[in-house]
Amino acid sequence: MSDLGTRIRRLLWAADLRALPAARRWSLQAARMLHAVLRDMAEGQLNLHAMSLVYTTLLSLVPLLALTFSVLKGFGVHNQVEPALLALLEPLGEQGKEITREVIGFVDNIRVGVLGAVGLALLIYTVTTLLQKIEDAFNHVWHVRRGRPLAQRFSQYLSVVTVGPVLVFAALGITAALVNTEVARTVAGIEPFGTLIEVAGRVLPYLLVIFSFAFVYVLMPNTRVSWRSALAGGLVGGVLWQTLGWGFATFVAASGKYTAVYAGFAVVILAMIWLYLNWLIVLIGTTVAFYHQHPEQLAMSRQQTALSNRVREKLALLVMALIGRQFYTEEPAWTLQGLAERLDMPINLLEPLVDSMKARGFITETGDDPPRLVPACAPETHSVKELIDAVRAVNEGEGLAVDRLPHEPMVEQIVAGLDAAVEAGSMGLTLRDLAGQPAHRDDTRPE
């Protein structure tokens, strides 16, 4: 099995895409992306996040619909909530209709206006928790270690819950109204416009799902997602979702024996399976979007989370040289994303190194969105040796300090020789020299 895996990896990664014809290049890139998505699924994290979202969805579904229902009611389009939920659960057949009736019944019994301040706060908190779990799952896929700040989280999440449904249902209502106008019916009777309208009616549901997925892929991760990548993920996620709906409906129609075994619990089990598959497809779509935007990550497993000492030291020098050069030429400062692309380095491996350089006072962030990286002080006040020493000491603390290790004369001699080699190799250069800027004669370093 390992030999087969080795042959597959050699077949996928040995060729240089730039030297291939366009058709073969695209097919090989698609094969690499499929391999990367299957590898991520085999590692299990996507499945775990999908299962977690099923549990959170079951807890938050009724409060989410109640809040959405109350907002839509103010715009007079609340009657479209039930058809939308019914369409989502349509693959469950009659059981989907039963679940829809029960959920809508719960929503109807909730009176947001009489909940009071505490009840309304708990309702909003429950909905926000669901959206936070979704963001955490997306951040995992995008290798983002930090979520949104609390204030930003509430404002953006509530915008999604309040404004999003209004825009979606308003667009659906306008589309339906335009289709039912006398002009539209007249045009539909003229060929080839009638055939085109019929084809558009079949394609429109797919397009709506694809653009909905793409919108979520842009909005939810706490990072910048290009629309091209989001649409690529939305295309895969939307087609999978529509195809899965047809396949799952066929499965439910032939699952009479499960009803006989599980009795009344069958509908609950089928609903949970359907929710799990939906969330898994959503996460697969955002994984495709991630790899489309970061093809340099395709060959790297998520389990590869550490850099070697040599790579880390050279990478720190490259980062400081690039940041210093932009600083002296007064060009726009680098963002973390820009550095990752310039260095062809996965951002999840570059970010911890940059964080350690910020913690040691070599670089700092600006207040821009996204933040830009600039020297924390005049580059001539730090030597290259200090930067290398700081990188070599990453993750050292009081309990892991090198001085706490046992002393052996020969070992101490070798360590001292390594330090002397680093001192000699850095040639007394400063970070200004590293950026390619000659030092002025009046430049002095503090004692």
What are 110-121's pLDDT values in tens digits? 655 555 566 667
Residue 350, CA distances (Å) to 117, 257, 316, 361 in order? 45, 53, 9, 17
Query: Per residue in 26-52, pLDDT tens?
Result: 888 888 888 888 888 888 888 888 988
pLDDT computed for residue 443 by the predictor: 44
pLDDT computed for residue 447 by the predictor: 35
More confident residue, 351 or 124: 351
CA atoms of 179 and 83, how far apart (whole Å): 18
Cβ contact 307:353 at 8 Å: yes
pTM assigned to the model: 0.70
| CA-wise closest residue to 127 among 218, 215, 56, 48 | 56
Which helix (H) or strand (E) segment is 344 a member of? Answer: none
| CA-wise closest residue to 165 among 60, 65, 57, 282 | 65
Domain coordinates of the chain in residue numbers?
Answer: 17-297, 309-434
Cβ-based neighbours of 218, under 8 Å, separated by 6 or more: 225, 227, 230
pLDDT computed for residue 323 by the predictor: 93
- In this structure, the chain runs to a length of 447
**DSSP conformation class of 80:** G
First to last CA, the chain: 61
Domain spanning 309-434 has what CATH number? 1.10.10.10
pLDDT computed for residue 321 by the predictor: 92
In terms of phi and psi (left: phi > 0; alpha: psi -120 to 50; beta: otherwise), the region of 364 is beta
Which DSSP string do the residues of 308-373 spell out, in sequence order? Answer: -HHHHHHHHHHHHHHHHHHHHHTPPPEEHHHHHHHHT--HHHHHHHHHHHHHTTSEEE-SSSS-EE
Query: Per residue in 161-212, pLDDT tens?
Result: 666 666 566 555 555 555 566 655 665 566 666 667 666 666 777 777 788 8
State which amino acid sits at residue 225.
Answer: V
pLDDT computed for residue 446 by the predictor: 36
